[in-house]
Structure formats: structure tokens, C-alpha cells
Amino acid sequence: MAEETPLVDGATRLYGIIGHPIAQVGSPRLFTARFRAAGLNALLLPLHVLPDHFDETLRGIMALANLDGLVVTIPYKPRVVSFVDRALPSAHLIGAINAMRRERDGSWTGDNFDGKGLIRALIGRGHSVAGRRAMLIGAGGAGKAIGFALAEAGAAAVGLFDVDADKAENLHRRISAAFPRCSAEVTPPRADGYDILINATPIGMVDGDGLPAVFPAFDPALLVVDIIIKPELTPLLAHAQACGCQIVGGRAMLEGQADEIMRFFGLLE
């Protein structure tokens, strides 16, 4: 019988997630379970970095010789960009990093999987993105990442709405510049004429929240996506389900991200 991987020993390789606050993050449980399922002696730890001590703490963590990679969460995704030796294209576009790894030569590379995780989740569930038209509600941090990822994955069109019109307009310009083959357009929130509707706002997280915008009944052919993790069935997804639409929730995006980040860490084929 093979010996069970020990919980932790001197040879355990370390990964971490940095954020503030930290107690609520799901990555330690999610990644560590995957590491162990893959037979790796590795953990992903919550690393609570305080804003006032950010620079010294991150430098110290990055200097640990048995720490191989970091996941980055709120509020540090933009702030870590100046700490890596190179930011891969998505990170560069978004201006934020959500995973960074140490290379063999000791340098650090950062990338952003906030959008790619969602694309992976969609494709993994049999939904194609290439050639399709997606409506994105919310052009903040997550929305920006998803917008670029949709364009990168070959979406024919991306409709953009944000209550802050400047944010939508800015993302529109940047998607158009980086992905000229994708038709980006700023539009009021709507579902008609689109194949996929994505909520990238926090509306739906809090008890009593309604839909992120006023919608008529959806066409059952519409795929409806919400990036909110809790509750699992947001008001938007409940509405979509009632209309007979297929739905994809935040948990799927999180798992898609974990797959992408595992691969980025070199731990998955």
C-alpha cells in the first residue's frame, strides 16, 4: 500500500494566497485538495499581508526558497505588478496579476486568470465562446479581465455596460485596440442579440439583491453566467433558470481558474 502523503513535513513545497482580509478565501482548501489528489507534497496557504507592511512582507515571502508560487486576491492584484520580473500579456492588459510563479532562474512571472478561468469553465461545460456574442454587465476589475478574455477567446462581439459609463467606454477602447477582430460596443444592459449574458458586478451577493439590470424574459437559448460565488443561485441565475436557460455560476469560474493556475504553476499537464 502506498504511504499517504503527509499533511506537512520538512520537504513540503509551499504556495500561498496573499490578500487582506484573508480568512474568507477559498483557494487554500481548493488548491490543497488538488495538490493532494495529484500526489504532490504541497500546500496553498492563506498569507495575510497587511496594507501598511505590504512591500516588506511580499519581499520576504518571495525570498522563501521553498515557496514556488502565489495567488493574489483583493486588494493586491494591481499592486503586485511592480514586484514581478515579467507580466504575461493578460496581466499586462488588465494591469493586475492574480497568480505569480518563481522560474528556475529565480525570477518571477505574473499572469491573470480571472477571465481565462471563466472561459475555461464555459468551454469545459461544452459552451463555445469563439464566434459568439457576449453581453458583459460590469467593467470593474473582474469585468475587465472577462472582457479581454472573451475577446482573446475569439468572441465575435462583446457588449459592455457599467453604471460608471467611463469604465465601460474605457474597456471598449482597450478591447478594440488589443483585439480588433472582436466587435466591442458600449450598450445599455440587454440580452437580445446576444448568446451569452455575464454578470460581473457584485449585485446578487447580498440578501435582498435583485437582478443587475431590468430584463424581460430571456430566450431559452441564452447562456447566463454569474461570477458571484455565494449564493450559488443568484437572483439572475434563478431568473435564467425559470426562463429555461442554461446557467454557469461563480464556483465553476473559480474551478476553471484553479485549473489554469495549476497549469501556470507547472503542476498540471
* Closer CB to its own copies, 29 or 125, in the complex: 29
Least Å distance, CB 249 to its own copies, is 20
149 touches 93 (CB < 8 A): no
Does position 229 bind its own copies by CB under 8 A? no
Does position 154 bind its own copies by CB under 8 A? no
Does position 68 bind its own copies by CB under 8 A? no
Question: By CB under 8 A, which span of 1-9, 125-133, 185-193, 247-255 interacts with its own copies?
Answer: 1-9
Question: By CB under 8 A, which span of 31-39, 116-124, 131-139, 228-236 interacts with its own copies?
Answer: 31-39
Three-state SS at 14: strand
Q: What are the start-end ranges of the H helices in the chain?
A: 27-37, 54-63, 89-94, 114-124, 141-152, 165-178, 235-242, 250-264
CA distance 164 to 166: 6
Find the binder of its own copies among 2, 23, 206, 221 (CB under 8 A): 23
Active-site residue identified among 77, 116, 144, 167: 77
C-alpha cell at 191: 440580452
Place of cell 507534497: 41
Does position 43 bind its own copies by CB under 8 A? yes
Residue 144 bears catalytic tag: no
Least Å distance, CB 197 to its own copies, is 30
* First and final C-alpha spacing in the chain: 26
Q: What are the catalytic residues? A: 77
